[in-house]
Amino acid sequence: VSQTIYFDNAATTFPKPEIVYETMDKVYRSIGVNAGRSSYRIAREANEIINETRTNLAKLVNFKTPNRIVFAPSATIAMNQIINGLKWDDRKTVYVTPFEHNAIMRPLHYIQKKHHIDIEIIQFDEKSFEIDMENLKINFSQKRPDYIFLSHVSNVTGYILPVELIAEVAKKYNAVIILDCAQSMGLLPIDTEKLDVDYLVFAGHKTLYGPFGIAGFIDKSDFKLSYFLAGGTGSDSLNLDMPDYYPTIYEVASPNIQAIAGLNAAIKWIDETGIDNIRIREEELTLRLTEGLSGIYGAKLYLPKKETDRTGIISCTFDDADSNEVGKLLDEYSIAVRTGYHCAPNIHNFLSTTAKGGTVRFSLSYFNTVEEIEYLINCLTDLDL
């Protein structure tokens, strides 16, 4: 079987660091039991791994209260817990950006149908992706924001949004801010002490280099979410309400010990490799890819204007080919890319890529190589689209 050249790391980073596979196998074989439900030794050990993972993740983002890190099976589920846990009776104004994922837009749409909320889209410049802060200030003053949902990094364009700036203005109105860090945590340095947002949602299987099945949110907020999911926690079982303490109030069902152990190993790997080294490597690869793609006749790249606002996710369209067609052709060269709308419903209007069937998205990780990028560029040249 020929090897796949993988450029779909925004969907999930692949492969994982070797230590992630090793740890998951070892933990599942030795202490793959139901943590937090029993007092025998290996159940306690499994519990310790969960606590250690919370502590290590907290360290990674300079967060002082690890028990306010809530684990969930996926970023989408974590986002649903937040959205459905917010108050909607008297707080009706929501701002989102054109970059938001359906993990946000679909649950918000669901809330909209029930509570008649207003969803406003913050304006960004279509060419540079820059935000007009003065305009935003006016918008906020005319229509006060209750909740703001922001992608930290766009899963379509790799754009790093100016979240600090937006948060600063929004906090003047006491808005609750939800930051989607699915494409940023583990890749960009995040300092939760400095970043004035309420909830940070993370996905273990993306830039954190962990496995599927573990994600969650960091709760920095004074706002208390209602719990959306209810069920077994292994504690206070005669009480039909969820236990009223963190993180248990939001953590239902048997914890995925294998995935959590994998995430723990991945965070340690990030720490040992150095978050800056991972970013530098990805930047070098991104530059090569950007240069290569820019040289392909008929390719149009959707890049943030400033190089420092970019990560290793690049979307493009081709003059004479539909995006899905390009994906199929590249597959014949064993190159894996993602094509289409990438679960981001607002951005294709913004980029005018709807008629093209969305974009062809190339996304990198620490484990891609310059040779792979050269092979891709040669194939695209060969294809003569």
Pick between residue 33 and residue 215 the one whose CB is nearest to ligand PMP: 215
Residues that bind ligand PMP (rule: CB under 6 A) add up to a total of 12
Q: Which of 183, 207, 317, 368 binds ligand PMP (CB under 6 A)?
A: 183
Q: Which stretch binds ligand PMP (CB under 6 A): 61-69, 73-81, 262-270, 303-311?
A: 73-81
Q: x/- string (CB under 6 A) for ligand PMP, residues 140-159?
A: -----------x---x----
State the sign of the Cα–Cα–Cα–Cα dihedral 205, 209, 214, 216.
negative
Backbone angles phi, psi at 87, to 5 degrees: -90, 130
Taking CB under 6 A as the criterion, which residues in 333-362 touch ligand PMP?
Answer: 343
Q: Which of 50, 96, 103, 166 binds ligand PMP (CB under 6 A)?
A: 103
Q: How far is the CB of 314 from ligand PMP (least distance, A)?
A: 15
By CB under 6 A, tell whether 9 contacts ligand PMP: no
Q: How far is the CB of 76 from ligand PMP (least distance, A)?
A: 3
Which tokens hold the place of 51? 């606590």
Q: How far is the CB of 138 from ligand PMP (least distance, A)?
A: 28
Taking CB under 6 A as the criterion, which residues in 213-272 touch ligand PMP?
Answer: none
State the sign of the Cα–Cα–Cα–Cα dihedral 221, 227, 48, 52.
negative
Q: Within 10 A of 133 (CB to CB), how many other CB atoms are there?
A: 13
Q: How far is the CB of 79 from ligand PMP (least distance, A)?
A: 7
With H, G, I as helix, E, B as strand and everything else as coil, classify residue 149. Answer: strand
Beta strands in the chain (DSSP E): 5-6, 69-72, 93-96, 118-121, 147-151, 176-180, 199-203, 215-219, 299-301, 313-318, 335-336, 338-340, 359-363
Q: Which residues contact 113 (CB under 8 A, 6 or more apart)?
A: none
Q: Which residue has the tokens 């003059």?
A: 319
Contact residues toward ligand PMP (CB under 6 A) are: 74-76, 101, 103, 151, 155, 180, 182-183, 203, 343
